[in-house]
Amino acid sequence: MTTQSVDRPVSEGRPRQQPGVGRQRRGTPAPLARRRTPLRMLGMAAVWVWVAFNLAIFVWMLLSSLKSDGEVFADPWGLPNVWHFENYVRAWEGSDLGTAALNSVFLVAAASVFTVAIGALAAYPLSRLQSRNSNVTLMYFVLGMGVPLQSIVVPAYIAMAGLNMTNTLGGLFLLYVGFSLPFTVFLLTGFFRTLPTRLEEAAALDGCSAFRTFRSVMLPLARPGIVTALLLNVVSLWNETLLALIFIIDDGRQTLALAILGFYGTMLYNNAWGALFAGVCIVVLPMLLLYLWLGKNIMDGMTLGATK
């Protein structure tokens, strides 16, 4: 009696290993993040050189703010012989920086919050409505980002003068909101598009209105993007000088950047260079500390809004 043999594959009963899983084939190039190409290394070197240059400028400015007026030029690269912390008192009292700082804090905080609130209300429907009109509207906001501020200062001044809102913080508030809105809408629209639509469908099945879905469901999910837009607006408006220089005349209504600009003329005439550097540090340090504290949140919010 002959037995018919049946050929069975050797790998029967063993889980087959998919090619490329668990090991890397020979000759396969490494991922892009692991490659050390000459161009990538050159770019990293350029970035670190730029970072070192900015750090050196900041340290030099900080040390100069603690020197005497003559020592700033006599020994610009050395350490202060005597630490003159009174330069900050001279800068704070000599140009009325206290009033200007309060004006900047309230104006920048109110304009940033209002801009993000209006921008979120506009960005959410633009991210969900898949129509030609919504795309055209978003394109108008994108075009608003490319318009130079200097080219529309004169029409803005004529419009604000017609409303009797020149030389007022309320008029400057409206200008800040108007000029910051295009970027805010563009940023938040891209972020809302990354959020899943299934949660909106579930909220609609539960009987939620469109506004309640936005307020209770989508707005908490968009918190990283909203925080990023808020912080970027704060930094931009805190450093703004051109609009304040054109629309504000009275010293009691000037912002901190405008007060430092006037303080520069006074200290230049009196050769008070140590106090001048101290005034610049007063303007720069709050934003620098804000970046050090929340810089990671800013980068996370921008990258989350850029990918889906």
Q: Alpha helix locations (H) across the chain?
A: 38-64, 71-74, 86-94, 97-128, 132-146, 153-162, 169-192, 198-205, 210-213, 219-221, 223-238, 242-247, 256-270, 273-306
Of residues 308 and 47, the one with the higher pLDDT is: 47
pLDDT value for 296: 66
Q: Is the pLDDT of residue 5 over 60?
A: no
Largest pairwise CA distance in the chain: 119
pLDDT value for 34: 56
pLDDT value for 185: 92
pLDDT value for 149: 85
pLDDT digits (tens, 9 = 90+) for 243-258: 999 999 888 888 988 8
Give the single-character DSSP code of 217: I
Confidence of residue 279 (pLDDT cuts 50, 70, 90): confident
Nearest CA-CA partner of 59 in 77, 39, 46: 77
Tell me how far apart the alpha carbons of residues 5 and 36 are, in angstroms, rounded to a whole number: 56
Q: How many CB atoms lie within 10 A of CB 227?
A: 16
